[in-house]
Structure 1
């Protein structure tokens, strides 16, 4: 089943006076919808827009894997383990909160900053590498300039992110998986199966869905699907997930 969630229907958050505009795909912070709390192991997909100098003061996380994709600008990260970094467009950042970590995120550049931040619940919630709840030390990594098509596996989960950049009319396979989440970062894409002719439906009667920047597709039991650029360059983040969160 393929369900489209439009970017215009995201929950709006942030602090306009502080230069922060946040758009939530799932229940988050002060927004709660019992029918929209996550998909597979993904429990947050936030589009963040920060004005120069704006940011999030030091705050805590634990038992969550946080993956950040910078769309435009420069993101500064500082955390309680002493790590600092500058993350730029095309870079992917992962912070494994483990037993607990505090961090600061802010716009370190002179222009606007836009990034997509995605949170995943580990496959075994609260478990460390030694099997003791909450015992895993925080982890951090940045991949600079990740290449198109390079899979990014998230440790402690059964999730993998694929970066896809397509020209107009170019196609790529959607991963076969129990749960697939596709977020369109920029451009326009079509997702479906079968012929690319706009007048034809996909086999089985399922028509292709057209997604613009900010839109997302949530697909369960994905099989034999493809995505194609539909009018200029398109950039997508595809999450391939084989499990839901585990608690224990």
Structure 2
């Protein structure tokens, strides 16, 4: 494994816009396929979306994917064919296991736009039962530390569980000058959801920027302003 930090500026993401949706995609997605940009570790989709009031994604299918949603502003209503429903808001982590097949919708039923990040990771085993979980971690985020919010790794009992034993999603809300250390893992994906940070040995990252870290985990991340970051820790790749 060749150690490296691959910085992906916000502007490098593929963008799609319509009257109701603004989407910024970090990896190949849908019709926008780039064979050199399909995944990092087991993370295969990382979309940042803004959905206008009264609109959203109508029922559509998914299969064999662990889908984690993190809302930055507003609220998002989830309904699926397995009978699960939920409202996702800032500070609440949500996971849907698509398993052998599920249909779901995501709607903005408020008067304000909803701004969220959705990430997909490959599961350990295909064809599992579809599932759903959510958990409010707002109190933990007040500590100004990396908080495991969705994980299949041991040692994260408070996180919602994902069916991928080699991955965990951490979140942090940082005040200016606060530092956290990235997980020491073979593959790390750091995303600056808002604010700005200084990544040790790399330099500044602004809102929407990401760093794909391979083989050199453990770097210090220092907030230069009020900041929210999302960090995927991964110990395998799709081929593993």
Q: Which runs of 4+ in 1 moved over 4 A?
A: none
Distance 2:169 2:178 in 1: 20
User: Which residue, out of 210, 223, 231, partners 1:229?
Assistant: 223
Show the counterpart of 1:82. 83
Checking the alignment, whether the CA contact within 8 Å between 2:79 and 2:86 is kept in structure 1 is yes
SS in 2 for 1:34: coil
Checking the alignment, whether the CA contact within 8 Å between 2:187 and 2:217 is kept in structure 1 is no
User: Which residue, out of 150, 154, 177, partners 2:147?
Assistant: 150
Query: Does residue 3 of the first structure (1) align with residue 21 of the second (2)?
Result: no
Checking the alignment, whether the CA contact within 8 Å between 1:177 and 1:240 is kept in structure 2 is yes
Show the counterpart of 1:26. 27
**Cα offset for 1:84?**
1.1
Cα 1:224–1:89 change in 2 (3 A) is: closer
**Cα offset for 1:173?**
0.7
Show the counterpart of 2:97. 96
Q: Deviations over 1:46-89 (max 9, x none)?
A: 00100101101100001000000000001000000111111111
Q: Aligned pair count?
A: 221
Shifted more, 37-46 versus 220-229: the winner is 220-229
SS in 2 for 1:8: helix
**Cα offset for 1:210?**
1.0
Unaligned runs of 5+ in 1: 127-133, 193-206
Distance 2:66 2:41 in 1: 14
Show the counterpart of 2:155. none
SS in 2 for 1:184: strand
Query: Does residue 180 of the first structure (1) align with residue 188 of the second (2)?
Result: yes
Q: Deviations over 1:178-227 (max 9, x none)?
A: 000001111001111xxxxxxxxxxxxxx332111111100001233110
| TM-align CA RMSD | 1.3
Unaligned runs of 5+ in 2: 153-161
Checking the alignment, whether the CA contact within 8 Å between 2:77 and 2:85 is kept in structure 1 is yes
